[in-house]
Amino acid sequence: MPNPFLNQVRQAQQWAQQQGLEPLEVDLLLAHVLGQSRTWLFTWPERTLTDEQQRRFSDLTQRRLGGEPVAHILGTREFWSLPLKVNASTLIPRPDTETLVETILNRFDQTALRVADMGTGTGAIALALASERPDWSISAFDVQPDAVALAQENAQHLGLPVTVGLSHWCEALADQSLDLLVSNPPYIAANDVHLQQGDVRFEPLSALVAAEDGLADIRILIVQGRRALVPGGWLFLEHGWTQGPAVRDCFERLGYGSVATVQDMGNRDRVSFGQWNPVSGSF
C-alpha cells in the first residue's frame, strides 16, 4: 500500500529525515529512485511519486537505516568528479584520498612519468591521475581479483588509459621501472573501535586493517619501493592522522630523502612522501 507520507518529493524528503537519514543521503537516494538530479528535486518539490517509486524509496531508506553504505546501495561513488562503480569487494573512495591526488598533481606537471597505484581498489587514484595527466603512463594493481575486475570496468567505462593488473604490493613490478609509486594501503589497527562503526562495517577488513598498529603494509611499500623506483623516484602514501611521525621515520631510515607530510581538509596528517636515494639507502 502506498505510504501517504511519500506522495510528493518534499514529503518523501521530510519523511526520510524523520526516520533518521541525513539530508544529503535522502537526496541521493530519492534522486536515484526518480532517475533525476539533486537539482531537479529542489526545482520540483511538489512532483508526485508513483506507487512503485514510493515503494523503492522506502526500501532504500530502510537499507540505509540498517547501516548499508549509500555508495553500495547506489552502486556508484563520485571521486575527483569521476563517477566510479563500487561494490563490497573494495573500499568506498573517500574525500580524504583526494588529498593524495591533489598533492601529486601539485608537485608533478605534464612531463611523462611512469606511475603505479598499488592496492587500487576501485581504481580511484589511478583514474583521477589519468584524467588530469594524459601524458603519464599509469598502471594500477590489486591483490584481489574482484578489485582488479572492478578497476578495469571503471577504466573502460570512463575511457581512461589505465592498465590494471594483479599483484601483492610491488611483486609484479620490474626493478627500477617507475618514476612514481602511490598507494592508499590498509592502515587501521586491528583493535581500532571505529571498525565497528559506520560504513566500514560493510567494507573488506583486508583493505582496512594492517598489523603493527596499522603500519605493516606501509612499511612493506616503503621497502619494496626502493626496488621498483628509479633513483630519484617518489613514493606517496596515504595514512592515518596519527601516523605521520612513524611514516616519516620509516622513509628516512630506509634511505629516502625530501620526506614530508601533507594535511587533509581537516588539518590532519594524511599523506607522506619521500624520494628514493640509493646513495643514502641500501637494500
Q: What average pLDDT does this structure show over 87-109?
A: 91
Question: Rounded distance, CA 220 to CA 169, Å?
Answer: 8
| Angle at alpha carbon of residue 96, lines to 131 and 107, rounded to 5° | 55
Q: How confident is the model at residue 189 (pLDDT cuts 50, 70, 90)?
A: low
Which pLDDT value is given to residue 212?
67
Coil, strand or helix: which one is 97?
helix
Domains and CATH numbers, the chain: 4-66 (1.10.8.10), 76-276 (3.40.50.150)
Q: Which tops the pLDDT comparison, 197 or 50?
A: 50
Q: Of how many residues is the chain composed?
A: 283
Give pLDDT tens digits for 241-281: 889 999 999 999 999 999 999 999 889 999 999 999 887 54
> Look-up: residue for cell 598498529?
213
Which pLDDT value is given to residue 170?
94
Res. 282: pLDDT tops 60 = no
Which pLDDT value is given to residue 69?
86
Return the C-alpha cell found at 119. 592496492
Whole-model pTM: value is: 0.85
Q: How confident is the model at residue 197 (pLDDT cuts 50, 70, 90)?
A: low
Which pLDDT value is given to residue 214?
78
Which pLDDT value is given to residue 110?
77
Which pLDDT value is given to residue 225?
96
Give pLDDT tens digits for 99-119: 999 999 999 987 899 999 999
Q: How confident is the model at residue 7 (pLDDT cuts 50, 70, 90)?
A: confident
Contact 221, 239 (CB under 8 A): no
> Residue 255, by phi and psi: left (phi above 0), alpha (psi -120 to 50) or beta?
left
CA 203 to chain CA centroid, nearest Å: 12
Res. 283: pLDDT tops 50 = no
Give pLDDT tens digits for 127-177: 999 999 999 999 999 999 999 999 999 999 999 999 999 999 999 999 999
Question: Rounded distance, CA 26 to CA 2, Å?
Answer: 18
Question: Rounded distance, CA 96 to CA 240, Å?
Answer: 10
Give pLDDT tens digits for 200-246: 555 555 566 665 677 889 999 999 999 999 999 999 999 988 899 99
Which pLDDT value is given to residue 281?
46
Among 1-10, 82-91, 177-186, 196-205, which stretch is predicted with the lowest mean pLDDT? Answer: 196-205
Give pLDDT tens digits for 30-77: 998 998 888 889 888 888 898 899 999 999 999 999 888 888 898 889
